[in-house]
């Protein structure tokens, strides 16, 4: 089992003819992802890699191919419109890789999506992978292994580190979800935690967070009250000075809220095993699973 994506996912790529879009689409196809369409305005009628039709709009792609997920590699200035176009076309899962989308644009997207049935992952995220079935994003596929451990993270790099540790220790993954590090995103830690909790194919999971916001505390509180599966966590940014953004746009401690220590205390209070360093993430989960 898995969450969000599987072998039946039919993927559209918005921005498929751009340098990054083309490169990562090829890698997704090589992994086995069923890419059924691409969109680049003005280039409708072309064929990508000899088999993927390119359309001018997401509406055409949806009507012609029945795509139910989209991966967005559109530059920041047009990415929000691309998200909204996909939502308007009725595409169920929207995964936006683009970094640097203006906050005001994302506020408009967030408001519009509240009235839709689509789910947004990202922006500024590595994407989603269900090992052995479907890879949508920029993650290195070879480090993943089929299994029963879920991973949800704000950081792409830390996701890869956790996955490599898990795979090296013989623990494969059910699904890995990179939710992105921007202050306004489409899917939260809590959203994914609930999915992992309900998924019979996920027997344990790792939650990776960082300074800024209260998403990790909210997820931890829910886990403490509702989740019986083993959970481990890591919070990045323990040495970050207050008021300074660290890496991600959403990684900033402001007004005394969102500190690493505050998050760690909330997570520990929920009975979650906390990794002391990035190198300890998989071992923290293994310790928790052994109890």
Whole-angstrom Cα Rg for the chain: 18
At 239, give phi and psi (nearest 5°). Answer: -100, 10
Contacts 24+ apart (CB under 8 A), 126-129: 126/97, 126/156, 126/159, 126/160, 126/178, 127/71, 127/95, 127/97, 127/178, 128/4, 128/5, 128/95, 128/175, 128/176, 128/177, 128/178, 129/5, 129/173, 129/175, 129/176
The residue from 24, 144, 189, 248 that is catalytic is 248
Closest CA to 175 of 194, 147, 156, 198: 147
- The region that residue 191 occupies, defined by phi over 0 for left and psi between -120 and 50 for alpha, beta otherwise, is alpha
Closest CA to 54 of 100, 107, 14, 27: 14
* Length of the chain as a residue count: 291
pLDDT of residue 181: 87
Which residues on neighbouring strands pair with residue 153, listed in sequence order?
178, 208
Catalytic-residue membership of 171: no
Instruction: Evaluate whether 54 touches 38 at the Cβ level (below 8 Å).
Output: yes
DSSP 256: T
Between CA 141 and CA 156 the distance in angstroms is 13
Contacts of 219 (CB under 8 A, 6+ apart): 188, 189, 190, 193, 207
Instruction: Evaluate whether 263 touches 234 at the Cβ level (below 8 Å).
Output: no
DSSP 57: S
The Cβ-side half-sphere exposure at 51, using a 13 Å CA radius, reads: 6
Q: What pTM was computed for the model?
A: 0.94
Using 70 as the pLDDT threshold, list the residues of the chain that sit under it.
239-257
Identify the structural domains of the chain with CATH numbers, from first to last: 10-121 (3.40.50.720), 139-289 (3.40.50.261)
Whole-angstrom CA distances from 224 to 43, 78, 237, 281 are 51, 40, 23, 19
Which residues on neighbouring strands pair with residue 96, listed in sequence order?
72
Between CA 272 and CA 50 the distance in angstroms is 49
- In the block, residue with structure tokens 């069923």: 34
């Amino acid at each position: 089992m898995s969450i969000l994506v599987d072998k039946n996912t039919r993927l559209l790529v918005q921005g498929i003819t751009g340098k990054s879009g083309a490169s990562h689409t090829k890698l997704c196809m090589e992994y086995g992802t069923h890419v059924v369409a691409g969109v680049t305005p003005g280039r409708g009628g072309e064929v990508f890699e000899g088999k993927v039709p390119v359309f001018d709009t997401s509406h055409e792609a949806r009507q012609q191919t029945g795509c139910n997920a989209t991966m967005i590699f559109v530059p920041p200035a047009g990415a929000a419109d691309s998200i909204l176009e996909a939502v308007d076309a009725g595409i169920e899962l929207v995964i936006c890789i683009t970094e640097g989308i203006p906050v005001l644009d994302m506020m408009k997207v967030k408001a519009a999506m509240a009235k839709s049935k689509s789910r947004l992952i990202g922006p500024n995220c590595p994407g989603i992978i269900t090992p052995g079935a479907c890879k949508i994003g920029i993650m290195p596929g070879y480090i993943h292994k089929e299994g029963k451990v879920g991973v949800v993270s704000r950081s792409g790099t830390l996701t890869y580190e956790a996955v490599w540790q898990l795979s090296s220790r013989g623990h494969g993954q059910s699904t890995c979800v990179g939710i992105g590090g921007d202050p306004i995103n489409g899917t939260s830690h809590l959203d994914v935690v609930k999915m992992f909790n309900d998924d019979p194919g996920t027997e344990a999971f790792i939650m990776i967070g960082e300074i800024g916001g209260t998403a990790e505390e909210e997820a931890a509180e829910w886990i403490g009250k509702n989740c019986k599966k083993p959970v481990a966590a890591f919070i990045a940014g323990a040495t970050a000075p207050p008021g300074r953004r660290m890496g991600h746009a959403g990684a900033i401690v402001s007004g005394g809220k969102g500190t690493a220590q505050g998050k760690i205390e909330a997570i520990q209070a929920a009975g979650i095993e906390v990794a002391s360093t990035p190198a300890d993430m998989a071992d923290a989960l293994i310790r928790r699973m052994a109890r």
